[in-house]
């Protein structure tokens, strides 16, 4: 039987708290939005699943812009208003060059499909859709049926069954999380260490433990949803929301 192991890929710390993460499952890229705690101005970064920085600390001057998606070389931002869609907007950025492909204040983003943003016009009655090309920024009102963009983000769920014999000595806090992985299982749990918590990831078959790693030590509090998984990559966000730890199984 092939030995399955849990291998660290990268560990990155950001200067500001992480506000939002979007994933491009086809091209194996992460888009990360951080926000200054005082001004709440957003900063955007992009890295590959292997930790290569593709864009770092791209800052916009208006705090109403937020991350909405990443697809190919396109970073998609959405502008939200406090109480009125008049303040809404869409911006497409070619992130390898940090070039703004298009900015719209008259359209409200409804959905992102393959190579297309589907939007409505804020001053035109609902029912009429507009299609914005991600690569060119061109807008068309001609009806299109673009394909859905492939997504593969998964998250673990609480384990409610009987604890397997090979895990009976594990003393975890709060809950035990599980996720099926090929013919194996990923288990996540947290143990108490004095007044702190340590976060573990464990890989097993139905009958035995294959590998176990301490992912984050000395957490100030329990993390309710500790990771998300994309393909064979597992992404952990620290309790400070300024650190991403990535493992490959």
Q: What average pLDDT does the segment 120-132 reach? A: 88
Q: Mapping DSSP to helix (H, G, I), strand (E, B) and coil, where does residue 145 land?
A: coil
Q: Which pLDDT value is given to residue 242?
A: 92
Q: Which pLDDT value is given to residue 245?
A: 94
Q: Which pLDDT value is given to residue 88?
A: 80
Q: Which pLDDT value is given to residue 143?
A: 92
| Residue 77 in this model has a pLDDT that exceeds 90 | yes
| Residue 74 in this model has a pLDDT that exceeds 90 | yes
For 155-169, write each residue's pLDDT tens digit.
999 999 999 999 999
Q: DSSP character for 22?
A: E
Q: Which pLDDT value is given to residue 3?
A: 66
| Residue 42 in this model has a pLDDT that exceeds 80 | yes
Q: How far is CA 99 from CA 65, 133, 162, 233, in A?
A: 16, 15, 54, 29
Q: Which pLDDT value is given to residue 126?
A: 74
CA distance 157 to 178: 6
- For residues 201 and 212, the answer to whether their CB atoms sit within 8 Å is yes
**Mean pLDDT in the chain?**
92
Q: pTM here?
A: 0.90
Q: Which pLDDT value is given to residue 1?
A: 39
Q: Which pLDDT value is given to residue 80?
A: 79
Tokens standing for 4?
Answer: 């399955």
Burial 197-217 (b: 16+ CB within 10 A, else e): bbbbbbbbeeeeebeeeebbe
Cα Rg, the chain, nearest whole Å: 21
Confidence of residue 2 (pLDDT cuts 50, 70, 90): very low
Q: Which pLDDT value is given to residue 150?
A: 86
Q: Which pLDDT value is given to residue 83?
A: 53
| Residue 85 in this model has a pLDDT that exceeds 70 | no
| Residue 86 in this model has a pLDDT that exceeds 70 | no
Domains present along the chain, CATH in parentheses: 13-140 (2.130.10.120), 153-248 (no CATH)
> What is the separation, in whole angstroms, between the first and last Cα of the chain?
15
Pick 70 or 240 by higher pLDDT.
70
Q: What average pLDDT does the segment 168-186 reach? A: 93
């Amino acid at each position: 039987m092939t030995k399955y192991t849990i291998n660290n890929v990268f560990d990155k710390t950001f200067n500001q708290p992480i506000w939002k993460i979007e994933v491009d499952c086809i091209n194996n890229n992460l888009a990360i939005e951080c926000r200054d705690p005082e001004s709440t101005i957003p900063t955007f970064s992009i890295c590959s699943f292997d930790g290569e920085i593709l864009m770092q600390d791209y800052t916009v001057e208006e705090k109403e812009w937020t991350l909405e998606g990443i697809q190919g070389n396109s970073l998609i931002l959405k502008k939200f208003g406090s109480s009125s869609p008049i303040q809404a907007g869409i911006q497409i950025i070619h992130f390898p060059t940090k070039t703004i492909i298009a900015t719209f204040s008259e359209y409200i983003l409804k959905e992102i499909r393959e190579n297309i943003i589907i939007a409505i016009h804020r001053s035109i009655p609902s029912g009429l859709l507009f299609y914005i090309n991600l690569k060119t920024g061109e807008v068309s009102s001609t009806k299109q049926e673009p394909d859905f963009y492939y997504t593969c983000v998964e998250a673990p769920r609480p384990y409610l069954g009987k604890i397997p014999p090979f895990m009976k000595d594990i003393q975890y806090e709060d809950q035990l999380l599980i996720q099926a992985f090929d013919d194996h299982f990923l288990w996540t749990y947290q143990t108490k260490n004095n007044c702190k918590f340590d976060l573990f990831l464990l890989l097993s078959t139905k009958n035995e433990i294959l590998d176990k790693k301490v992912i984050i030590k000395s957490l100030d509090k329990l993390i309710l949803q500790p990771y998300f998984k994309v393909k064979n990559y597992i992404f952990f966000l620290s309790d400070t929301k300024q650190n991403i730890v990535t493992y490959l199984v």
